[in-house]
Amino acid sequence: MSKLSVLNGIRKCPPLYSACMSILDLNSWMKGRRRGSYAQHGEDVFVTEYFSKREKGFYLDIGASHPFRLSNTYLLYQSGWKGVTVEPIPRLGKLHRKWRPRDSLMPIGAGSKRDTLDFFEMTPSVLSTVDATVADQYVAEGKAVLCRRYKIDILPINEIIERVSAISRVDFFSIDIEGLDAEVLAEIDYSRFRPELICVEANSSELREKIQLLLAKAGYKIIKEIECNLMAAPRDTVIEASPNASA
């Protein structure tokens, strides 16, 4: 039996699962604090250095998952920033409210239109998705175990942006929504939404090329690749980027 299957089995006993998760959370937080990074590949360090001259700013984190484990924005939060996190998993939403009280949480999914879709909550939760094909692929490859399936509300990405922009201008935009990143990026009205830095996950060469073309059409240039993550900035402001933000 795999570690993922064991963890998924523990979920059937809520008190035990809650205790295990609390221990795991504390251990992850302490490990991230020692490393000075909470993201998977140090993406948050790059982002924090990119905005090093800005004491405070605002982010929009779509597909935020856990409030700090594998998070691209928690290091910014610790430095004094705040923003909006979009995360539909109820358990993770509660953790966001606990660990990141300055942020605003939107417990929904992002898409191209208003909808209600099946949501596949996976173990690990970071691989959760509304794409049944992607969920099946993760299970078949042994990357994840299906925890449960339920309906979630989907809001159009531009409606999410409109709501967030009413609070503040977005400086940093992070998106990781397993299988739908390119589809959502293609819908964004970049004439009204121009974050200074965008981070998007691209897990294949085909997806990477597609996302690069979408961002180029929107007037963005890839300035850094960190493992499967692409960092992009508006072409007309790239020259002002941090020295660490090399192409």
In a domain, 50, yes or no: yes
Cα torsion 43, 49, 50, 54 to 10°: value is 130
| Entry pTM | 0.88
- Say if residue 57's pLDDT is above 90: yes
In a domain, 29, yes or no: no
What CATH code is carried by the domain that includes residue 164? 3.40.50.150
Average pLDDT over residues 22-32: 89
Average pLDDT over residues 22-45: 92
Per-residue model confidence (pLDDT) at position 99: 96
In a domain, 1, yes or no: no
In a domain, 59, yes or no: yes
- Paired sense of beta strands 109-111 and 197-201, if any: unpaired
Give 118-146 pLDDT, tens digit per residue: 999 998 888 999 999 999 999 999 999 89
Residue 27 in tokens: 């251990």
Per-residue model confidence (pLDDT) at position 241: 44
Q: Which of 130-134, 235-239, 242-246 has the lowest mean pLDDT?
A: 242-246
In a domain, 144, yes or no: no
Confidence of residue 7 (pLDDT cuts 50, 70, 90): low
Structurally, the chain folds into a number of domains equal to 1
In a domain, 6, yes or no: no
Average pLDDT, the chain: 90
Higher local confidence (pLDDT), 6 or 236: 236
Other beta carbons less than 10 A from residue 141's beta carbon: 8
% of the chain surpassing 70 pLDDT: 90
Beta strand segments in the chain, E: 58-62, 82-86, 104-106, 109-111, 115-123, 145-156, 172-175, 197-201, 220-226, 229-234
* Number of DSSP helices (H) and strands (E) in the chain, helices first: 9, 10
% of the chain surpassing 90 pLDDT: 74
Give 150-206 pLDDT, tens digit per residue: 999 999 999 999 999 999 999 999 999 887 899 999 999 999 999 999 999 998 889
In a domain, 182, yes or no: yes
Give the residue from 119, 111, 80 showing the smallest Cα distance to 188: 111
Task: Give the whole-angstrom CA distance, residue 172 versus residue 44.
Answer: 11
Identify the three-state secondary structure at position 115: strand
Per-residue model confidence (pLDDT) at position 23: 87
| Structural domain containing residue 78 | 37-119+154-240
Higher local confidence (pLDDT), 227 or 180: 227
Give the residue from 151, 159, 152 showing the smallest Cα distance to 112: 159
In a domain, 14, yes or no: no
What string of DSSP letters covers 81-112?
Answer: -EEEEE---HHHHHHHHHH-TTSEEE-SEEES
